[in-house]
Structure 1
């Protein structure tokens, strides 16, 4: 019966989108609960397994005691889930009372939808993919001695995945490379926005800020603002809450691009259900977006000293492993780097970040980018970062936090780069 309900729900969604309408979330709320006992945690785990039955969308999965669990709930299920939580001694905190109203507020106040040149590009707003691409082209034209664009791959829907190479003086293939990307999960808008802000600072502050100048003269920076281009576009046109790619799988669309890497693929923390938000795909590297980035990172063995995958939300700075809580032998130096980065980040605005290995710090996830970059590509300083916030707004972080997020994360990035240069 559950399978039939799931299929009917996706058929309805397909019909709605075929008619050209955006998915609405009127009356949907975001709830947060904190399990304080093993019984409560196990109950939330069962609720997560039954999420399709109850039409719940877990924004922050149950993983450990005293760690918040955040999920979206439709109005039709509120009473039932409230009672079920109450029987376990859990009282939900409503962090967003009406998701649709927040989406409409975001659309009206927080986004810039037309590109009018670099001088008018508002870094304090969220931007659609067309503006991001136009901004990259203008940056490459205006700073042609320091910025070069290159194509990573093509997406499932045929969009070009464009990245930037930012350098200082005397760039060469013998210099260490530092690669970071945003937007691997489509709805995490603060990720591309923060990456764009940091890229702009690296470009524009060269020759003005000594720290940035020195690091660009020693490292070649490779930056991919929007990894999941199809999914990101879809969040602007059809469904603000979309997470995956847009490849087709029976009645469902998309693969989780952070479960599709060929390292401990589709084990703990990933799903084989094509309708799940953590669907690992029919095979490793089935998604052209993922395969393209992996091929690029492998193109010059030993070139890349660091890889960072920027996500949201939770305020975490993490290193492998994600597929297991077991620690690699290199974890002490990796975590020391994370400590250096988060200390520098916190010093800017006081924002507190936790650090550690992925599986113990957030949850178990197999087939992830950070695990593959470390395990297969041999990039020692492979990192997954969860940006602001800790759950108050989640994926709908107001745009007035973009600049503060960019400022603090940039300092973490620079501190990390200096640590890596001193600890090869």
Structure 2
């Protein structure tokens, strides 16, 4: 059954998290948390004195799904582990200059003899390999919790879109020319194969504790919760030492999947933060990671282990509110709006390396309907992920600046020698926490464009003027006249950026100009 359980204190909430299958869905104001329970657990909650409300509609939906072994029947929009690997291999073949396959490590089954064959922790790097680096990096991973269908699919779709849009979409083009996208759709492939059969498997496939339930239940299942197994702040609140519990942590970084993640992220991101909890990463830190989960629409940022603010709290919150503008999700710190969790992936990435790290909780179901995924979750979050990719070079600086949107040229293609008008809107208001505070906005102070090169790579900077003659509001139309005399025949990329009154330059947006 899916139930809402009322709690009166944080101590009781933490106890619930350590004892039951508590979901990433809670209402702090109303004082309840969502849980999956079997009849035995339901009776135990009542015996412990908790008020428990059965959610009959979602419970009926779960009953229709959890009916034994099968493929992902009724969920044609979600690729299996094998189908995802095939997609990545096909992209690598068809777009060899843009896609490189990467084996980050092995699953528990694969490193453990005598059982199932297991899987590679398989991902890919997406960038224009003809342009040398080093380049800023965005690491996107999905479905570390096996039963969460939507995250893996969103990750692979985002990567697919970036690859297939290269050369036709201006933003995809400059991003892959200048940045690297590292994608891991299935961070827990062994567990995912169980979930694909209709079970609510959360953990990996570690069966070293042989007395747990199989098939898995909401109160007992084999495995380790990989999102409680990371070595940073391991073993604290929101994790369990009971091997069959769904938040079982085992020992620090004990699992091959966790080791693969930590090793890989350490190989692509420099350590940019000091050793103390109070050490902030520098303003010019590079690198960003997002781990995709479901369900409960939320954008979460560190710390997860403690309600105290992370040293880069203001910067993390600003970037999170950029995401919230697109997906409409509440943007908040995990223990403040949900509950504390220790040994998590995002805390490890930020705490160990200093990179900006976030968790997206997608939608309103583990087994999210394809109709909802494709009409809402995918388009809203693809836009947020594009903003994340744009912020990867300076995640603690760029999001404070305004967005350049609606970038356009008056004509394209044009004959060399023609004057072309470049226009855009520069907007410093595109933030939304969806109920968790407001972001200060500033008037636009300046705008500029570059041709074929990013502003930070030595390009010539060309000023743009306010369309109404004065920079004096938080949203400004901007314009420039471009004389193409002497331009060779070909396609040019015009990148527009805006600056606010506090001196913050935002991320570029681009348009193509074809000269013939």
TM bucket (normalised to shorter chain) is 0.7 to 0.9
Distance in 2 separating the partners of 1:43 and 1:186: 27
Task: Sort the Cα spacing of 1:329 and 1:73 in 2 relative to 1 into closer, same or farther, 3 A.
Answer: closer
Structure 2 residue corresponding to 1:327, chosen from 309, 314, 318: 309
What is the TM-score when the length of structure 2 is the normalising length?
0.64
Match of 2:346? 370
Q: Which has more radius of gyration?
A: 2
Q: Tell me if 1:295 matches 2:263.
A: yes
Match of 2:28? 64
Distance in 2 separating the partners of 1:212 and 1:67: 43
Distance in 2 separating the partners of 1:378 and 1:270: 23
Distance in 1 separating the partners of 2:80 and 2:312: 39
Deviation at 1:310, TM superposition (A): 0.5
Distance in 2 separating the partners of 1:397 and 1:199: 20
* Correspondence list, 1:195-210, <5 A: 195-210=155-170
Q: Which is worse superposed, 151-160 or 89-98?
A: 89-98
Deviation at 1:210, TM superposition (A): 1.3
| Local SS of the residue matching 2:194 | helix
Deviation at 1:270, TM superposition (A): 1.0
* Correspondence list, 1:134-173, <5 A: 134-158=86-110, 159-168=119-128, 170-173=130-133
Q: Tell me if 1:129 matches 2:81.
A: yes
Q: Tell me if 1:279 matches 2:248.
A: yes
Match of 1:405? 377
Distance in 1 separating the partners of 2:98 and 2:190: 28
Match of 1:339? 321
CA contact 2:181–2:389 (8 Å) conserved in 1: no
Q: Tell me if 1:225 matches 2:207.
A: no
| Local SS of the residue matching 1:318 | strand
After superposition, the C-alpha distances for 1:134-191 in whole angstroms (9 at most, x for unaligned) are 1111111111111110100011111111101101364434111110100100000111
CA contact 1:387–1:405 (8 Å) conserved in 2: yes
Unaligned runs of 5+ in 2: 111-118, 213-221, 272-285, 399-516
CA contact 1:61–1:363 (8 Å) conserved in 2: no
Structure 2 residue corresponding to 1:243, chosen from 199, 202, 205: 202
Q: Tell me if 1:93 matches 2:55.
A: yes
* Correspondence list, 1:375-386, <5 A: 375-379=351-355, 381-386=356-361
| Local SS of the residue matching 2:231 | coil
Deviation at 1:96, TM superposition (A): 2.1
Distance in 2 separating the partners of 1:65 and 1:84: 25
Structure 2 residue corresponding to 1:354, chosen from 308, 317, 330: 330
Unaligned runs of 5+ in 1: 1-28, 52-56, 113-124, 346-351
Deviation at 1:357, TM superposition (A): 1.8
| Local SS of the residue matching 1:59 | strand
Instruction: Write 1 or 2 for the structure with the bigger share of strand.
Output: 2
Instruction: Write 1 or 2 for the structure with the bigger share of helix.
Output: 1
After superposition, the C-alpha distances for 1:319-365 in whole angstroms (9 at most, x for unaligned) are 110100011221101110010111023xxxxxx30112222132101
CA contact 2:25–2:295 (8 Å) conserved in 1: no
Q: Which is worse superposed, 205-214 or 331-340?
A: 205-214
Match of 2:152? 192
Deviation at 1:104, TM superposition (A): 5.8
Structure 2 residue corresponding to 1:254, chosen from 199, 203, 223: 223
Distance in 2 separating the partners of 1:421 and 1:160: 29
Distance in 2 separating the partners of 1:95 and 1:68: 18
Task: Sort the Cα spacing of 1:83 and 1:185 in 2 relative to 1 into closer, same or farther, 3 A.
Answer: closer
Task: Sort the Cα spacing of 1:90 and 1:176 in 2 relative to 1 into closer, same or farther, 3 A.
Answer: same
What is the TM-score when the length of structure 1 is the normalising length?
0.77
| Local SS of the residue matching 1:323 | coil
Distance in 1 separating the partners of 2:72 and 2:301: 37
Task: Sort the Cα spacing of 1:164 and 1:104 in 2 relative to 1 into closer, same or farther, 3 A.
Answer: same
Distance in 2 separating the partners of 1:95 and 1:42: 30
| Local SS of the residue matching 1:153 | strand
Deviation at 1:214, TM superposition (A): 1.8
